[in-house]
């Protein structure tokens, strides 16, 4: 099972990948990062995406339909996609046996990236990721 560094390097092999990080959405700190960051500042990107992820993770209105609530230690959302003029930002929440407060952030070039493939691969990476 891959750790943080191996998972992030795997993410960077996706077509159009510009940068990848694993971020704690409570503290806003990057636990690992590779490649570039929007604006060139990895720490600022981690903090800003963590704020967005925290709002989504704590949103009651985004809970699953049909009355099936997630476990107390996991967010109600699997992933988020933010689209800009030239890129995609894919945030995939990672479920862990302990407090699930981390997500994978993949920054993709909009012209070269394959969003569907990236979603599938990031979900697989999140399932295999070993933290600790």
* Per-residue pLDDT, 1: 47
pLDDT at 96: 74
Q: Which residue has the tokens 């503290």?
A: 27
Ranges under pLDDT 50 in the chain: 1
Say how far apart CA 129 and CA 132 lie, in whole Å.
Answer: 10
Q: What are phi and psi of 16, to 5 degrees?
A: 85, 0
User: So what's the pLDDT on residue 68?
Assistant: 55
pTM: 0.87
Q: Is 18:12 a contact under the CB 8 Å cutoff?
A: no
**Order of strands, sheet of 30-35, starting from the edge strand that comes earlier in the sequence:** 30-35, 17-24, 102-109, 87-94, 79-83
The pLDDT value given to residue 77: 84
Which residues fall within 8 angstroms of residue 74, CB to CB, at 6 or more apart?
A: 93, 95, 100
All structural domains of the chain: 4-60+73-128 (3.30.450.30)
Q: Identify any residues that bridge with 107 across adjacent strands, giving them in sequence order.
A: 19, 89
CB-based burial of residue 111 (10 Å sphere; 0-12 exposed, 13-18 middle, 19+ buried)? exposed
């Amino acid at each position: 099972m891959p750790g943080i560094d191996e998972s992030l390097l795997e993410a960077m092999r996706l077509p159009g990948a510009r940068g990848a990080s694993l971020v704690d959405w409570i503290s806003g700190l990057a636990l690992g990062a590779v490649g570039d960051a929007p604006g060139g500042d990895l720490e600022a990107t981690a903090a800003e995406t963590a704020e967005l992820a925290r709002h989504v993770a704590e949103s009651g209105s985004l809970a699953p339909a049909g009355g099936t609530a997630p476990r107390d230690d996991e967010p109600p959302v699997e992933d988020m996609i933010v689209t800009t003029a030239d890129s995609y930002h894919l945030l995939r929440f990672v479920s862990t046996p302990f407090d699930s407060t981390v997500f994978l952030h993949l920054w993709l070039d909009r012209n070269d990236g394959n969003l569907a493939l990236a979603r599938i691969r990031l979900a697989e990476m999140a399932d295999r990721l070993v933290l600790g």
